[in-house]
Amino acid sequence: MADLELLLSRQSVSPRLLEEPVPSETELERAFQVALHAPDHGGLQPWRFRIVRGDNRHKLGDLYAEALKRKTPEATEQQIEAARQKPLRAPMVIVVLAKVTTNNPKVPPVEQIVSAGAAVQNMLNCFHAMGYGAMLVTGVPAYDEGVRTAFGLAEDDALIGFLNVGTVADMPALRERKAPDGYVEEWSGPAA
Ligand SMILES: Cc1cc2nc3c(=O)[nH]c(=O)nc-3n(C[C@H](O)[C@H](O)[C@H](O)COP(=O)(O)O)c2cc1C
C-alpha cells in the first residue's frame, strides 16, 4: 500500500538546490512507468517527455534567451544571460508536453492536459520516493513559439512545464500546508 507519509512529505525543491547525481536509467524508466499510470480518458496517451541533460541544456538555454528577447525586446544583456543559464541550474530537465487531439468527441483538450499534469504529479511523487528532488516550472519559455517549435508542438499542443530533477543539495524545512477544510464542502444540491 502507498505510504501516505511519503506523499505528505513531498515538496518541490528549487532547481538551484538540485545537483548530480540524477536518477539512473533504470530509475528513469521506472519514473516514466509511474507517469503512465496517470488517468487518461479514451486512452489517448497525450503525454510526451523530452529528457534534457548534460551539454544539451545549453541548447535549451539558448532557446530561453531567444524567448526572453522576443517577449521583452528591451531586456538587458544581464537578463538575457540569466535566462540562458536557467536550464543549467538543475542537472536534468524533463520537458513535459501534451500532444492534444482536438477532434475527439468524448475527450476535450482540457482533459488531455489534465492527464499530462497528472503524469507530472506521479513523477514528482516517484522522484521523491526515490530520494531525489524535483520541481515543475514554466515561465516565458513555456509559451514561446520558438520553444514550442523546437519541441515539435502543433497549435493545440501544450508545453506543460520543465520538470527539474536532481539530488537535493540542501533540503529546505518542510513547508506547512493549509488545512483542506477551506477548500472542501459537502454539496447538498444546486445553489439557490
Ligand atoms: C504548471 C505549473 C507551472 C509552474 N511554474 C512555476 C514557475 O515557473 N516558477 C515557480 O516558481 N513555480 C512554478 N510552479 C509551482 C511549483 O512547481 C511548485 O508547485 C510550488 O513551488 C509549490 O511547491 P510544492 O510543490 O512543494 O507545493 C508551477 C506549477 C505548475 C503546476
Using one digit for the tens of pLDDT, what is the confidence trace for 149-164?
999 999 999 999 999 9
Mutate to test the pocket of ligand 1, among 138, 143, 164 (most ligand atoms within 8 A of CB): 138
154 CA to middle of ligand 1, Å? Answer: 24
Confidence at residue 179, expressed as pLDDT on a 0 to 100 scale: 96
Class of domain 12-54+88-169 as given by CATH: alpha beta
74 CA to middle of ligand 1, Å? Answer: 27
As a whole-number percent, the residues of the chain with pLDDT over 90 amount to 96
In the predicted structure, residue 2 carries a pLDDT above the cut 70:
no
Average pLDDT, the chain: 97
Confidence at residue 54, expressed as pLDDT on a 0 to 100 scale: 97
Contact 47, 96 (CB under 8 A): yes
Confidence at residue 192, expressed as pLDDT on a 0 to 100 scale: 80
173 CA to middle of ligand 1, Å? Answer: 17
**3-state class of 71 per DSSP?**
helix
- Helix axis angle, 77-85 relative to 56-71, nearest 10°? 140
Beta bridge partners of 119: none
- Is 0.95 topped by the overall pTM? yes
Residues, the chain:
192
DSSP state of 178: P
| Residue ranges covered by each domain of the chain | 12-54+88-169
Q: Whose grid coordinates read 489534465?
A: 114
Mean pLDDT over 63-79 rounds to: 98
Give the binding-site residues of ligand 1, using a 6 Å CB cut-off. 11-12, 135-139, 161
**What is the tens place of the pLDDT at every residue in 110-157?**
999 999 999 999 999 999 999 999 999 999 999 999 999 999 999 999
